Homo-oligomer: A and B are copies of this chain.
Amino acid sequence: MKEIEKNAEVCESDVVHESVVASVRAALPDEDTLADVAELFKVFGDSTRTRILSALFEAELCVCDIASLLGMTKSAVSHQLRILRQTKVVKNRKQGKEVYYSLDDDHISRIYKMALEHLAEDR
């Protein structure tokens, strides 16, 4: 181990299974789509946001309701709601001083519920 071991960035491609890799590469969705998938899942990948979402499955709620429900500050909740708003997962409606939030997208709800069912089966 006296020599500096230079970890080549890519595998020296003699050994790789060329033909398989080539066909897989052709079948891969484009980078943008995959980045979007990751982006979408990242939104669900935080327990504060999953808690907010499962609350909104039940009813339309104002920020104060959610904060009280989760035992968090309105500020923290508002920050997370902004993320959910930007990714079009929730929508809001202003009435007087209060802002009411609800789920925006049925698709996303279905994906989310599917995961819940998946985990329920494992128990």
Name A's B-contacting residues (CB within 8 A): 7-11, 13, 15-17, 20-21, 23-25, 27-29, 31, 33-47, 49-51, 54-55, 57-59, 61-62, 64-65, 67-69, 71-75, 107-108, 110-112, 114-116, 118-121
Contacts and interface: CB of A to CB of B under 8 A. Distances in A.
A85 to B, nearest CB: 17
A114 to B, nearest CB: 5
Contacts of A16: 64-65, 68
Contact of A47 (B17, B34, B50, B71): B34
Chain A binding surface, main DSSP class: helix
A115 B62 CA distance: 28
Nearest to A25: B69
A40 B45 CA distance: 7
A65 B7 CA distance: 16
Which are the 8 A-B pairs with shortest beta-carbon distances? A42-B45, A41-B44, A45-B45, A11-B64, A38-B47, A41-B45, A24-B58, A11-B68
Contacts of A68: 10-11, 13, 16, 21
